[in-house]
Amino acid sequence: MSVTTVERAAAGEPAEAEPSYLTAENTISSWLLTRDHKRIALLFFASITFFFFVGGMAATLMRLNLATPEGLLQPAVYNRMFTMHGIIMVWFFLIPSIPTTFGNFFIPLMIGARDLAFPRVNLLSWYVFNLSGLVVLFSLVMGGADTGWTFYTPLSTSFANGYVFAAAMAVFINGFSSIMTSLNFVVTIHRLRAPGMTWMRLPLFVWGIYSVSVVMLTATPVLAMDTFLLAVERVIGLGMFDPTHGGDAILWQHMFWFYSHPAVYIMILPSMGVISEVIPCYARRPIFGYAGMVIALMAIAFLSFFVWAHHMFVAGISIYSGVFFSLMTFFVAVPSAIKVFNWTVSLHKGSISFDAPMLYALGFVLLFTVGGVTGLMLATLPIDVDVHGTYFVIAHFHYIMVGATVSAYFAALHYWWPKITGRFYPEGWARFAAILTYVGFNLTFFPQFILGYLGMTRRSYTYPADWQSWNLLSSAGASILAVAYALPLLYLGWSLIWGRKAGPNPWRATGLEWALPSPPPEHNFARTPTVTLEPYSYDPEEGSFVTQEGTSHAR
């Protein structure tokens, strides 16, 4: 039912003869009107990289301001900066990051399909994403919103005086892009798998994207309705969240976090998929507990819907509700812990080489662990009561969302760079950047745990002078981190022209995507592959491996 078998009529030619997707056509309209998932992935990559640096710019200003208690920016400017940093980083970088780029590029390749199920919808998704990006940039250029990325009512509806309407609309429109992309992935993974590619043979990256798509598809509409009602209330001055008319200001938070808590998992699940690809490849052994990893992914996706009010323990919700959400939060931590243990044990009896993607992946595991255990602390009710809204929370979610997710993003970028461009990246520089990221990140965010427990509140442009040393340390770390994040842009750009040419399978990996030439031809597979094996058939003893369609490669 769910399987395609295509023997294209003119499939006699060897695959190498077909031009790659990069060179097939070279007009501007061939890019802007393309239906090729690989080209759309690159379009998304361009948009997302742009927004990453816009959001990063805002973060730089914030850290500059916080280097001294007196600050550098006007309070109004600082408030707008952290709001725009949050909005841009969450909706314009983290949520679309891995799914729209590597998901778009590699899902069809990994399941042996020629394209996503709805290529036009995929392209439309990119245009809608850019439209919402224009709206958010408009809001930013006009002066930005000053509500925090969470838009808590009634501050956002009646009291804030920035461009809240534009920012909320940007989020609303952005939701359509998420929905279109995730819908495409769900249907594609259900319907376009190659023969033999059963569910338990899917690479874990595909599972990661599948679980995240399900979450996006079911959580985004609630946020859409929520921001829509917010926009209505902002424009007409009264509405569903208006306490002066008997509305409940906390309802906004419920509906917001119904989306935005799963959104945290939207950011982390694809990264987990990436790490599950990278670690077996560089450890040269099968992933430890494939089925457990799949169950854990789906369990996280499912449980993520039951934990949202842990953002609201002190918001005035019923205490019984608080207890329930705390319990569910502990539950969702269990599959996350399983994944960490499985990744770690996946190194056991491997034959590990420490290339840049592997360094990023190991960094991911460590940072995710720290983010995870502090998440455990935040799930514990009395500690959350204490540190809620302080830098402890900031540090915690940056460990997950920046430490872990962005590390995974860079791991994926380096791991698949030869496949996407056909060129190697410079290994030495990449290792240096990976280590620099890890050092800079910890230096930036670990002091914030201490600041948080000391009681430094988030979203404050100033702080008591006796906390300056920690803040200065954090700002210093941020400058290292900025270099570490900008560095790949330079050497990857360099490698586009001067990089060494890569063969089809430079890492000797097992996925179907490596069976294609690098860069892949326009329509991927000339002949639909038949899958005979589960993924990750590496053998550390022999140094050999078997790709998923059954070709074995000796050392």
Binding region for other proteins (CB under 8 A) out of 25-33, 38-46, 454-462, 484-492: 454-462
Site string for other proteins, 259-288 (x = CB under 8 A): ------------------------xxx--x
The secondary element (H helix, E strand) that includes residue 522 is none
State the nearest-atom distance from the C-beta of 58 to other proteins, in Å: 16
* Residues 372-401 contacting other proteins, CB under 8 A: 372-374, 376-377, 379-383, 385-386, 388-390
Region class of 448: left (phi > 0), else alpha (psi between -120 and 50), else beta: alpha
* Helices within 284-318 (DSSP H only): 290-303
Note whether 546 binds other proteins by CB under 8 A.
Answer: no
Please select the residue that binds other proteins; options are 108, 203, 208, 280, rule is CB under 8 A: 108
Tally Cβ neighbours within 10 Å of residue 130.
18
State the nearest-atom distance from the C-beta of 313 to other proteins, in Å: 8
Please select the residue that binds other proteins; options are 89, 166, 229, 515, rule is CB under 8 A: 229
Binding region for other proteins (CB under 8 A) out of 92-100, 182-190, 418-426, 507-515: 182-190
From first CA to last CA, the distance across the chain in angstroms is: 38
* Residue whose token pair is 């952290």: 82
Alpha-carbon distance of 455 to 473, in angstroms, equals 17
Note whether 330 binds other proteins by CB under 8 A.
Answer: yes
Residue among 472 and 487 whose Cβ is closer to other proteins: 472
Cα 59 to Cα 65, 87, 410, 478: the distances in Å are 10, 12, 19, 9
State the nearest-atom distance from the C-beta of 551 to other proteins, in Å: 22
Alpha-carbon distance of 195 to 33, in angstroms, equals 30
Three-state SS at 213:
helix
Note whether 431 binds other proteins by CB under 8 A.
Answer: no
* Strand ranges of the sheet holding 552-553, from the earlier edge strand across to the other edge: 537-539, 544-546, 552-553
Note whether 350 binds other proteins by CB under 8 A.
Answer: yes
Binding region for other proteins (CB under 8 A) out of 197-205, 242-250, 407-415, 422-430: 242-250
Residues 6+ apart with CB under 8 A from 294: 200, 204, 207
* Residue whose token pair is 């250029």: 141
* Residues 76-105 contacting other proteins, CB under 8 A: 76, 79
Number of residues that bind other proteins (CB under 8 A): 140
* Residue whose token pair is 């899917």: 202
Note whether 29 binds other proteins by CB under 8 A.
Answer: no
Note whether 535 binds other proteins by CB under 8 A.
Answer: no
* Residues 35-64 contacting other proteins, CB under 8 A: none
Note whether 506 binds other proteins by CB under 8 A.
Answer: no
Please select the residue that binds other proteins; options are 25, 540, 546, 549, rule is CB under 8 A: 540
Tally Cβ neighbours within 10 Å of residue 532.
15
Note whether 354 binds other proteins by CB under 8 A.
Answer: yes
